[in-house]
């Protein structure tokens, strides 16, 4: 069982978009988990076996308590009953209070389909008759990682202390980001990736007066009980 669960289409998606937050929550004492829906087998670099090895290394860096791969086909994700019901049973088993999903609009079809599949799975996890042999239960919160979406975040998380280790977890995917000739026209160098992600994190960090941050969106209205204790300065 985990407290916080992140679900994404491919190994390394989590590390790019919400890895700092996962690490921050793990170091705060929460049990964190990751579910990759595919092994990224259609990527220009690497093999499914290699990417699973890299995912395990990245999970250790981020102090993730659980990581699994659903084995759904890369580039062929669609919101089929079979996929969402299989994922629903895994969500039910892990019993996370909060689930992070990809933002529901994206350039890569797998990313927005992953968001749809996972959201529906979170709902189905609460249906008793889905699997009478297991205990039904839904997450309390579903939030969306919006790092690559041109939208105003509902909130951002300070990852200044975690940023370097988040980058370390991403670069653990040597098959994708290591220096190699294969598909070099499609993949920027590791130094360029570092610069790009640092710039994005600096932008969101600036919104709350810190160095680095990750953005998130929620569909619900946020509740605040103590407006005197709000954490962001106006001046």
Q: What is the pLDDT along the chain (235 residues), one digit of tens a residue?
A: 999 999 999 999 999 999 999 999 999 999 999 999 999 888 877 788 999 999 999 999 999 999 999 999 999 999 999 999 999 999 999 999 999 999 999 999 999 999 999 999 999 999 999 999 999 999 999 999 999 999 999 999 999 999 999 999 999 999 888 776 665 566 678 888 999 999 999 999 999 999 999 999 999 999 999 999 988 888 8
- The predicted model scores a pTM of 0.93
Please name the residues in contact with 191: beta carbons below 8 A apart, sequence gap of 6 or more: none
In the block, residue with structure tokens 């996972």: 118
The count of other CB atoms within 10 Å of the CB of residue 126 is: 14
First to last CA, the chain: 42
Q: What is the pLDDT of residue 105?
A: 94
Please name the residues in contact with 70: beta carbons below 8 A apart, sequence gap of 6 or more: 35, 36, 37, 38, 83, 86, 87, 90
The radius of gyration of the chain from alpha carbons, rounded to an integer in Å, stands at 18
Domains of the chain: 4-220 (3.40.50.10320)
């Amino acid at each position: 069982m985990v407290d916080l669960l992140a679900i994404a289409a491919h190994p390394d998606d989590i590390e790019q978009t919400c890895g700092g937050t996962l690490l921050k929550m793990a170091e705060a004492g929460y049990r964190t988990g990751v579910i990759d829906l595919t092994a990224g087998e259609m990527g220009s670099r690497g093999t499914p076996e290699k990417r699973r090895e890299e995912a395990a290394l990245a999970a250790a860096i981020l102090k993730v308590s659980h990581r699994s791969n659903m084995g759904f086909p890369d580039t062929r994700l669609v919101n089929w009953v079979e996929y969402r019901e299989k994922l629903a049973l895994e969500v039910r088993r892990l019993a996370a209070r909060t689930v992070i999903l990809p933002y529901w609009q994206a350039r890569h079809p797998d990313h927005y389909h992953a968001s749809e599949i996972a959201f529906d799975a979170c709902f189905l996890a609460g249906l008793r008759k889905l699997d009478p042999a297991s205990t039904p239960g839904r997450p309390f919160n579903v939030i969306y990682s919006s790092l690559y979406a041109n939208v105003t975040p509902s909130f951002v998380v300070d990852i200044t202390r975690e940023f370097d280790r988040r980058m370390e977890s991403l670069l653990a995917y040597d098959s994708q980001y290591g220096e190699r000739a294969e598909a070099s026209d499609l993949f920027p160098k590791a130094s360029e990736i570092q610069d790009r992600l640092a710039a994005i994190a600096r932008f969101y960090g600036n919104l709350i007066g810190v160095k680095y941050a990750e953005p998130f969106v929620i569909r619900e209205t946020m509740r605040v009980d103590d407006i005197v204790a709000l954490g962001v300065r106006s001046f």
